[in-house]
Amino acid sequence: MAELTCISPIDGAVVATRQTLTLPEAQSAARAARKAQKDWASRPLSERIALVRRAVAIIGEQQDRMTQELARQMGRPVRYGGEFGGFNERASYMCDIAEASLAPLIVEDSATALRKIEHEPLGLVLVIAPWNYPYMTAINTVAPALVAGNSVMLKHSEQTLLVGEHLAEAFAAAGVPEDVFRNVCLNHDVTGALMSGREVDFVNFTGSVRGGQAMERNAAGTFMGVATELGGKDPAYVRADADLDLAVDSAMDGAMFNAGQCCCGIERIYVHDSLYDAFVEKAVSLVKATKLGNPLDPETTMGPMANVRFAKEVRAQIDAAVAAGATAHIPAMDADDGGAYLTPQILTGVTHDMDVMREESFGPVVGIMPVKDDAEAVALMNDCKYGLSAAIFTADADAAKTIGGQLETGTVFMNRCDYLDPALCWTGCKDTGRGTGLSPLAYGALTRPKSYHLKKKA
């Protein structure tokens, strides 16, 4: 029997070890979840909403646990207080809009006929969640899936094993039946077998491109839906009319928060020639003030990356860029140990021949390039295989809309970045994958339409 082990990036200590389910055990869990789903879907919508809200509230009562466990598992500093703000905002919004989003579409209700389209739950939804924002990314699908009448199996990352357990405890305490929401530990082979064997009805996967490709191969021929969010290389563009201080503060926070481990974090910045030198100067000053260190220390502003392996990949990108002519502006910090603790870095003199400007970094490094106009910025922003989000800093909303219309991306921001508005669809294009998260559209993805044409009179 295989094991999953969470190693703390703080000091290499083992945080948790869990046995994975065998295929027969996983099949049994999936079949029990499918059976329980029928009763769950028959409950009034208002009851399902109330139970999800209660589970969220229970997590809210345990924010200290969330904060401390996140620091130990993936290195986020305790000073930021966990993820409950975004977790609660997303779940609450999806509960707020559920009745309207799931209401039948009435085409005709007359003495002659009733014609309508209803939303039926899919059945069993498998949520495969990542470690970087482990509560928020999970709840994006868990909350609307349950509200819509599905049962859910949550497979969390090995790096954040305790998060899946925390969520399962909260939902059970709220009164959601354990077979309706279950946390499972699965290896890749068993996960694939559940999908190819049609033991689940829908999969929501957040992770790497390679992982997303594996999900699609697993589902081939089953006709189940597979939603994927596979990261990005999100750009920011600072126009000549931008508020410079706002642009620096926002873009650099988007690049460096959570040690740069954000799917929609800013990984490359294009600045108009007229602001370029000032932008770089202010950005370097801001990043130099970072306090890299133990995330359990409330003075720490940047903790270690979640895994030594991840930091190694970012260091390799930085080193290759410098070897090719880029300039690194941030001297090594005292806490940089050559392992998980990595000095945040700003690079100039970068080009699109360098991996650091084209391949996902998922770490605290950003390249900054000057551009002469909007057209050059758009061409460079689109010169990438990913398309999750893009940020435009400008005083001209019309220009932002025009530029945004030319960008190959899922979300366009103006004067902000790195935020999931639950009222807007979270989606992507190109190698970012194809998902439909949050907003009323999420309920469309987590249900299937069923049409009724009931003829009352000849």
CATH number for 295? 3.40.309.10
Average pLDDT, stretch 207-211?
96
What CATH number does the domain containing 113 carry?
Answer: 3.40.605.10
Domain assignment present for 130: yes
Please enumerate in sequence order all residues whose Cβ is within 8 A of that of 388, keeping only pairs 6 or more positions apart, or say none: 229, 231, 232, 234, 263, 264, 409, 410, 411, 428, 432
Opening angle at CA 116, ends 114 and 120, nearest 5? 135
The answer on pLDDT for 8 being more than 80 is: yes
Residue 87 and residue 217 in one domain: yes
Band the pLDDT of 148: cuts 50, 70, 90. very high
Cβ-contact 261, 306 below 8 angstroms: yes
Dist CA 49 CA 35 (whole Å): 20
Domain assignment present for 272: yes
Q: Domain range spanning residue 139?
A: 3-230+433-455
Cβ-contact 251, 285 below 8 angstroms: no
Domain assignment present for 40: yes
Amino acid identity at 219: A
- Residue 206 β-bridge partners: 229
Backbone angles phi, psi at 81, to 5 degrees: 70, 25
Residue 298 and residue 157 in one domain: no
Residue 148 and residue 47 in one domain: yes
Backbone angles phi, psi at 296, to 5 degrees: -80, -10
Residue 208 and residue 263 in one domain: no
Closest Cα to residue 414, out of 432, 396, 437?
Answer: 396
The answer on pLDDT for 231 being more than 90 is: no
The answer on pLDDT for 152 being more than 70 is: yes
Give pLDDT tens digits for 432-454: 999 999 999 999 999 999 999 99
Cβ-contact 89, 56 below 8 angstroms: no
The answer on pLDDT for 50 being more than 90 is: yes
Closest Cα to residue 247, out of 218, 276, 223?
Answer: 276
The DSSP code sequence of 217-282 is HHHTTT--EEEEE----EEEEE-TTS-HHHHHHHHHHHHHGGGG--TT-EEEEEEEHHHHHHHHHH
CA atoms in the 13 A half-sphere facing the CB of 164: 26
Domain assignment present for 115: yes
Closest Cα to residue 131, out of 56, 191, 208?
Answer: 208
What is the model's pLDDT at position 457? Answer: 79
Contacts by 284-289, CB closer than 8 A, 24 or more apart: 284/329, 284/330, 284/346, 286/248, 286/249, 286/252, 287/252, 287/256, 287/329, 287/330, 287/344, 287/345, 287/346, 288/330
Average pLDDT, stretch 76-103?
98
Instruction: Tell me how far the alpha carbon of residue 181 is from its chain's centroid.
Output: 20
Average pLDDT, stretch 369-382?
98
Cβ-contact 192, 214 below 8 angstroms: yes
The answer on pLDDT for 174 being more than 80 is: yes
Average pLDDT, stretch 317-346?
98
Residue 288 and residue 164 in one domain: no
The CA–CA distances, whole Å, from 219 to 130, 153, 199, 208, 419 equal 20, 17, 11, 17, 30
Residue 221 and residue 244 in one domain: no
Cβ-contact 190, 213 below 8 angstroms: no
The answer on pLDDT for 56 being more than 70 is: yes
The answer on pLDDT for 1 being more than 70 is: no
pTM for this structure?
Answer: 0.97
120 is catalytic: no
Domain assignment present for 426: no
Please enumerate in sequence order all residues whose Cβ is within 8 A of that of 171, keeping only pairs 6 or more positions apart, or say none: 51, 52, 55, 146, 181
> How many structural domains is the chain composed of?
2
Which DSSP symbol is given to 386?
E
Dist CA 191 CA 330 (whole Å): 42
The answer on pLDDT for 304 being more than 80 is: yes
Which residue among 263, 264, 384, 425 is the active-site one?
A: 263
- Residue 271 β-bridge partners: 238, 370
What is the model's pLDDT at position 427? Answer: 97
Domain assignment present for 427: no
Residue 222 and residue 362 in one domain: no
The answer on pLDDT for 114 being more than 80 is: yes
Amino acid identity at 428: G
Residue 137 and residue 243 in one domain: no
Residue 267 and residue 347 in one domain: yes
Residue 153 and residue 40 in one domain: yes
Residue 238 and residue 286 in one domain: yes
Name the packing angle between helices 397-406 and 374-382 (round to 10°). 40
Domain assignment present for 381: yes
Which residue among 69, 158, 199, 229 is the active-site one?
A: 229
Closest Cα to residue 443, out of 104, 75, 71?
Answer: 104
Domain assignment present for 336: yes
Chain mean pLDDT for the chain: 97
263 is catalytic: yes
Band the pLDDT of 226: cuts 50, 70, 90. very high
Cβ-contact 406, 422 below 8 angstroms: no
Cβ-contact 127, 41 below 8 angstroms: no
Strand pairing category for 124-128 and 151-155: parallel
Average pLDDT, stretch 71-81?
98
Residue 141 and residue 265 in one domain: no
Q: State the first-to-last Cα distance of the chain, in angstroms, to the nearest integer.
A: 64
